[in-house]
A and B are shown apart, each in its own frame.
Chain A
Amino acid sequence: MPALNTVGHSTPRIDAVERVTGRAKYTNDVQLPGMLYAKVLRSPHPHARIRSIDTTRAQALPGVKAILTHETTPVVWGAGGIAGGQQYNDEVKKITKHRRYAFNNPVRFVGEPVAAVAAENRHIAEEALRLIAVDYEILPFVLEPEAALESDAPKIWPEGNIAVNNRNEPLPITQKRGDAHAAFATAPHVFEDRYSTSFVHNAQMEPRSAVAHWDGDKLTLYTPTGGISNCQHDMARDLGIADEKVRVVCHYMGGNFGNKNQNQDGDLITAMLAKAAGAPVKLEFSRKDDFIGMHGRWPTVQYYKVAVDNDGTLQAVQLRGYSGMGPYRKNSGAIGGIELYRCPNVDHVVTPVYTNRTVSANFRGPEFPQGFFGIQSMMDDVAYKLNMDPVEFGVKNMSRMFRDEVPFTNFTLEECIRRGAELFDWTQRWRPLPGADAGPIKRGAGFTYMLFRSGLGMSSAVVQVDANAKYTLFVGVTDVGAGAKTTMGLIAAEALGVPLSQVTVVWGDTDRCPYSVGESGSRTTIMTGYAVMEAVRDLKQQLAEKGMPTGSQTLVAKASPNPRLEGKVRNAFGAHFVEVEVDTELGHVRLTKYVAVHDSGRIMNPLTATSQILGAATMGVGMALHENLVYDQKSGQPLSAGFYYDRIPTHLDAPTVEVSFVENDDGYGAYGAKSIGESGIILSPGAINNAIFNAIGKRLKDLPITRDKVLGALA
């Protein structure tokens, strides 16, 4: 892979100075003249019908300018509940029966919006919420997906609690090949087990906020979104106005981590309050609002059955999985992982289930950290039971073609695993006999591997040059923290053959930027990056024909390529190796070594790419060991809403992560770039769990692996 001039060299972010001086303006930093402040009243009940809402006392409070409820504002939030959970499909949003409104009646989870107030300042808005009297008829509720499928479970929707697919049918997600049933009957070894994962909140540092103002019939919305284009379209559809009547602006955003490439109910509520009050409105979520009113990773229960030959060759894998979606299907609820293995017989049935918990949605590698924790723990266990080294079992059984059928554009999974094992010193650190260390502090090593989508798709870019050879790149990215703005600048500079300093990037404003696919699915570098290359190609052609512009003239080129892969699948690959130290008296798990190897294609900017892996692996530590939105089973109340009680990782929890990239250029995407942002978190929970098993000889099966569970397993 020949080196490039600009791409591939570690480069500090083009906006790094703004980020370290406090000059970067986030949504809540926007201050407009005459702006009001908004707060949302939320349901204290997991399931209740609203008999009446009395807002008279709140209306009478001096300084209150507008109040909205489900009675005044029956607006459908299209992205809030989608049959089948397909996020970017307008047709499905139209036919969805289990619809979510900005304000719903009945309310179906603690934290669901009931009313919103705009007032002269946030203190008056808070006070007004206390003056709204809501008469609730309490309904029975159900919190766990398996309980919700019992015949006597309270029905969250009239049709029952199986989340409907894109034809409004209550059917599970299935994948079958071969005959797993027959294989289980004849295989020499059959293993069964159950794993579960918890609801993990995005918990981005920036609590949700939005600022809306109307200029006549045109809405300007400042909001933390990873996709200004999709957010704009969602707002226009939900409000029943044309796309061009909505301007969405997001220049800086305090973390994404999933399900933000769209609009949110808070955006709709803010826009409607601004309309009702005739003034700009800023909505501010408290941290608790954010935790219970937004979304997080869907919790799962996974029942595996695995058949293996005497030589350790996988014969069959069966999964019966259940995903807790909350009361609306925002996204798929799938459980990934079956695609990791070459296997002739697969029987995979996952049922997304409605529950009266906070809504689940896409969170960094949506269905994979849950599923990979389950299947990679299961397979690790199978390897030990067959007296095999888990690394050798993995290499022997890993997929070499997508679903054993379609070839990959390139395949480096084995190289990632081998390099990781070497950097980690697997043969020295792994204990052939788990739990063999003497004394109360025991060490152990574990690993997992992954593959993850890196497909192609449509996005756009515009590039312009003026008479002074100043290049301006217009891209609809918002830079959620991954460094997209800088990456797009690097790609443009490389394609133009000019230094990065000669390229100005314009971003984060639908009035100034073309459509972008949005920062979700680890797609921006691949898709928008490729659009940048195509726009530059066009510009260079124009320059060759017309020469440099003169005077006040400019040359402009736009590209909206939609590249396709024929007969191939494009994936990123990776392997993580973890060593832990388990205190068997206290149940404490400490990470003592962490090696992450990734094939994310050609790395555009090693500095920011490495940060992605470091951060995602650390986020995975939280999922593995700490995080869980705990509910009180009797009252249906969330108990751990907030950073402290949810225990997201701190400086003291973060492992030192060694990152290594297996670089290559398969000829697709921007200079061969593949996905990266989500990869890191997919691997860590399984690797940590496998290391714990190696240390203590006991298999933990339920996330998060808190101290009480470690001690329970050892008891």
Chain B
Amino acid sequence: MNEKLPDSPDWTRREFLAGTSAALVVAAAAAGTLEAQTPGAAPAIAVDPAVPHSTIRLTVNGVARDVEVEDRWTLAELLRDRLGLTGTKIGCDRGECGACTVLVDDQPVYSCSNLAVWMDGRRVTTVEGLSNGGPLTPLQQAFVAHDAAQCGFCTSGQLMSATALLKRNPRPSAADVKAALAGNLCRCGNYNRYVDSVVAAGGGVRSSVGGDQ
């Protein structure tokens, strides 16, 4: 009775990614010129020298840095465990929920489903990088005003997807927002609030609470 279970989405994200990583490591290593930089935050987790690892150069929230990563690490692991950027959340670790969404070269991606080594030469923005210690962005302000975050665990991902949307479509309609954020689940079910926040941040006036349809 130890045969493969009949459902089969058992093929984990890490096993899947590991099968594709070696070739991409080579490609990534060729792309970057290495330049020593001191990371801003003390690394919480050290690289295990016994496993394959690489040094990559990437820009995180506007700061260029060289980072040593284990080749098996996801981008989410790099951000959370190595760089201490825990605002990025892991909700499923298999590309289903969007809680781990970050921007890579301004495009929203699931950081649980991208390997850290793939980020060589890329520009990564996390929730911490939206206001970067300064005043909240209009989108963050709208999230506060509209009570978009209930438990808050999916909020970073919603913010990142919405930030990318506003960049390419500064005045989105409610339908635009729903389509762009469809990959960001919220179990608190606060979708009406999220849509209102993003529409309001784009300058539109819409309250789905008591709303249209």
Interface, chain A (partner B; CB < 8 A): 12-13, 16-26, 28-29, 31, 44-45, 62, 120-121, 123, 136, 138, 202-207, 252-257, 286-288, 480-483, 592-593, 607-608, 610-611, 614-619, 622, 632, 635, 637-645, 648-652, 654-659
Contact = CB atoms under 8 A, between A and B. Distances in A.
Given A19-B152, A31-B84, A611-B193, A206 B44 contact: no
Given A287-B94, A637-B5, A13 B72 contact: no
B153 A287 contact: no
B94 to A, nearest CB: 7
A255 B153 contact: yes
B90 A651 contact: no
B209 A659 contact: yes
Contacts of B118: none
B7 A638 contact: yes
A123 B72 contact: yes
B72 A651 contact: no
A639 B9 CA distance: 9
A22 B128 contact: yes
Given A17-B144, A21-B131, A204 B151 contact: yes
Contact of A20 (B9, B10, B144, B210): B144
Interface string B177-213: 1110111111111111111000000000000111111
Contact of A637 (B7, B70, B193): B7
A479 to B, nearest CB: 8
A592 B127 CA distance: 34
B149 interface: yes
A638 B10 CA distance: 11
B37 interface: no
Given A19-B155, A255-B187, A614 B193 contact: yes
B128 A643 contact: no
Contacts of A253: 151
A44 B187 contact: no
B150 A611 contact: yes
Interface in B1-56: 1-2, 5-7, 9-10, 44-45, 48, 50-51
Q: Nearest 8 CB-CB pairs, A to B? A: A22-B87, A254-B153, A481-B151, A618-B189, A615-B189, A654-B191, A19-B152, A22-B127
Contacts of B80: 29
B42 to A, nearest CB: 10
13 contacts: A12-B145, A13-B147, A21-B87, A21-B127, A31-B44, A203-B187, A286-B93, A610-B147, A638-B7, A645-B9, A650-B183, A654-B192, A656-B209
A591 B145 CA distance: 27
B113 interface: no
Given A650-B185, A656-B208, 4 more contacts: A21-B87, A287-B94, A614-B191, A642-B92
A674 B158 CA distance: 31
B111 interface: no
B45 A121 contact: yes
Interface in B86-107: 86-94, 96-97, 99
Given A22-B126, A22-B156, A650-B185, A614 B92 contact: no
Interface of B: 1-2, 5-7, 9-10, 44-45, 48, 50-51, 70, 72, 80-81, 84-94, 96-97, 99, 126-128, 130-131, 136, 140, 143-145, 147-156, 159, 177-179, 181-195, 208-213
B190 A16 contact: no
A650 B182 contact: yes
A126 to B, nearest CB: 8
A425 B89 CA distance: 42
Contact of B94 (A206, A481, A642, A659): A642
A205 B1 CA distance: 32
Contacts of A659: 209-210
Contact of A616 (B136, B181, B189): B189
Contact of A205 (B6, B148, B154): B154
A204 B6 CA distance: 25
Nearest to B178: A651
B86 to A, nearest CB: 4
A352 to B, nearest CB: 26
A207 B9 CA distance: 18
A594 to B, nearest CB: 9
Contacts of A17: 136, 144
Contacts of A657: 192, 208-209
Given A28-B90, A656-B208, A617 B189 contact: yes
Given A45-B1, A481-B152, A657-B192, A651 B184 contact: yes
Interface of A is mostly: loop
Contacts, number: 220
Contacts of B9: 642, 644-645
A608 B177 CA distance: 22
A121 B48 contact: yes
A252 B152 contact: yes
A29 B186 CA distance: 19
B24 to A, nearest CB: 19
Contacts of B97: 205, 287, 643
Contacts of B88: 22
Nearest to A24: B152
Given A121-B48, A657-B209, A651 B131 contact: no
A646 B211 CA distance: 29
Given A207-B90, A608-B147, A21 B136 contact: yes
Contacts of A642: 9, 92, 94, 96
Contact of B209 (A482, A593, A658): A658
Contact of B7 (A23, A121, A622, A639): A639
Contact of B128 (A21, A136, A615): A21
Nearest to B190: A615
Chain A CB within 10 A, most for which of B130, B148, B179, B190: B190
B100 to A, nearest CB: 11
Given A20-B140, A21-B130, A205 B178 contact: no
B181 A651 contact: yes
Contacts of B51: 123
B57 to A, nearest CB: 23
B213 A639 contact: no
A205 B89 CA distance: 9
A658 B212 CA distance: 9
A309 B184 CA distance: 51
A16 B145 CA distance: 9
Given A16-B149, A615-B150, A29 B86 contact: yes
B143 to A, nearest CB: 5
A657 B213 CA distance: 10
A610 B209 contact: yes
Contacts of A19: 143, 149, 152, 155
A17 B131 CA distance: 11
Nearest to B188: A615
B92 A206 contact: no
Contact of A593 (B128, B192, B213): B213
B201 to A, nearest CB: 12
A610 B81 CA distance: 36
A136 B1 contact: yes
A651 B194 contact: yes
A22 B5 contact: no
B188 A481 contact: yes
B147 A12 contact: yes
